[in-house]
Amino acid sequence: MAGVTTFECVTVIATESLSKRFPRVTALDRLSVDIGPGVTGLVGANGAGKSTLIKILLGLSPATEGRAEVLGLDVATKGGAIRERVGYMPEHDCLPPDVSATEFVVHMARMSGLPPTAARERTADTLRHVGLYEERYRPIGGYSTGMKQRVKLAQALVHDPQLVFLDEPTNGLDPVGRDEMLGLIRRIHTDFGISVLVTSHLLGELERTCDHVVVIDGGKLLRSSSTTDFTQTTTTLAIEVTDSDAHPDGTRAVRDALHARGVETHAEGAGLPGAGHILLLTAQGEETYDLVRDVVADLGLGLVRMEQRRHHISEVFTGGAENSGAENDSDERDSDERGSDEQWKEAVGHGG
């Protein structure tokens, strides 16, 4: 065990030119990545190979070539031992509606090898930690989506694993529920001491939660880096304004006014709903928000919304080169940031 513990300090998950080929598709293509303790985000568009990777890491699906270790155990031979120490929260619904959360989680704890008494105690503790109180005695069928997600999280944590795989835990949640879930994920590591591998196709929400982000696309590793490198890429603002008699096309008026003050707006992705009415621009800091407010007020228009755009991962890849080009035009960026922009370009080129 001592060997395992020391290994764990360095790497929780290690893959070495891991490939998985199906007759028609290559799901993973020579993926080599080392993941340390902490919260790690695994980002990729749908079909990028995230779920395939989790399946291999749980020892449920053999890799075509290459090898992988989880907690120092080889996935090809020690699948059972890995699954005893690892929790898994699937992306899809997995809860029977006619039993209570307590009954269900107790059963799942026993399926992880916990003796009956320990299973009941751990269930009570875990449900409390994920924020389920009196409702845990009611059948799951009557729960809201947010509560169901908490039960799914609880069954992944109930056996006190060393590592949990969370597959799209924020799917289907409203913004408040999403933030609560992200906070909970953060606590899993800081308070519970459990390492987390969390997948999402939203880069924006992962960079706020994770210490480290791994981006894969088409089964290939695009980028693996600490989240501080990502922060500057996502401060995109979306603005929507009303029209007035003086400015029948409010959006255009704001765009021109901003342009006159030296702020460029990005070309909005065509075909999206409301594309013509939403302006996208890169916020350089607090002053950009003030500028937008003043410009809109001066024109006498109503500001319908001003929000930080969450990056959809595919958006980052398709618009990445273009955006980073635009960003490089502004002279306010230091050389460090520009360096990471180049990395982005490189990554995008690699992906294409």
Partner 1 sequence: MAVEQPLTSPTGDQTRIHDIGYRGYDGPRLGRSYASRSLYSQSLRGAYGLGRSAKSKVLPMLLFTVMCVPAAIMVAVAVATKAHELPVQYTRYAIMMQAVISLYVAAQAPQAVSRDLRFKTVPLYFSRPIETADYVRAKFASLASAIFILTAAPLLVMYVGALLSKLGFAHQTKEFAEGLVSVALLSLLFAGIGLVIAAVTPRRGFGIAAVIAVLVISYGAVSTLQAIANVQNHTSAIPWIGLFSPVTLIDGVQSAFLGATARNPGAVDPSAGQGVVYVLVVLALIAGSYGLLMRRYKKVGL
In angstroms, the Cα distances linking 214 to 31, 104, 207, 219, 225 are 11, 33, 11, 12, 7
Judged by beta carbon, residue 54 or residue 196, the one nearer partner 1 is 54
Least Å distance, CB 173 to partner 1, is 19
Residue whose token pair is 């293509």: 29
| CB of 160 or CB of 243, closer to partner 1 | 160
Least distance between partner 1 and beta carbon 21 (Å):
17
DSSP E strand stretches across the chain: 13-21, 26-35, 39-43, 65-70, 73-74, 86-89, 163-167, 195-200, 212-217, 220-226, 236-241, 265-266, 278-282, 303-308
- Contacts to partner 1 by CB under 8 A: 51, 54-55, 58, 60-61, 80-81, 83-84, 86-88, 90, 92-99, 103, 107-108, 110-115, 118, 121-122, 124-125, 129, 139, 155, 159-160, 191-193
How far is residue 351's CA from residue 345's CA, in Å, rounded to a whole number? 10
Q: Which is nearer to partner 1, 77 or 231 (CB)?
A: 77
**Cβ proximity to partner 1, 89 vs 278, nearer residue:** 89
Query: In angstroms, what is the minimal distance from the CB of 84 to partner 1?
Result: 5
The angle, 0 to 180 degrees and rounded to 10, between the axes of the packed helices 101-111 and 145-157 is 30
Closer residue to partner 1 in complex, CB, 105/291: 105
Rounded Cα distance between 189 and 195, Å, is 6
Q: Minimum CB separation from partner 1 for residue 171, in Å? A: 14
Is residue 129 exposed (0-12), middle (13-18) or buried (19+ Cβ within 10 Å)?
A: middle
Edge-to-edge strands, sheet with 220-226: 86-89, 163-167, 195-200, 39-43, 212-217, 220-226
Contacts of 324 (CB under 8 A, 6+ apart): 233, 341, 344, 345
Q: Is 80 or 271 the residue whose CB approaches partner 1 more closely?
A: 80
Q: How far is the CB of 227 from partner 1 (least distance, A)?
A: 24
Minimal distance, residue 46 CB to partner 1, in Å? 16
Q: How far is the CB of 269 from partner 1 (least distance, A)?
A: 34
- Cβ neighbours for 302, distance < 8 A, ≥ 6 positions apart: 241, 242, 244, 296
Q: Which is nearer to partner 1, 159 or 223 (CB)?
A: 159
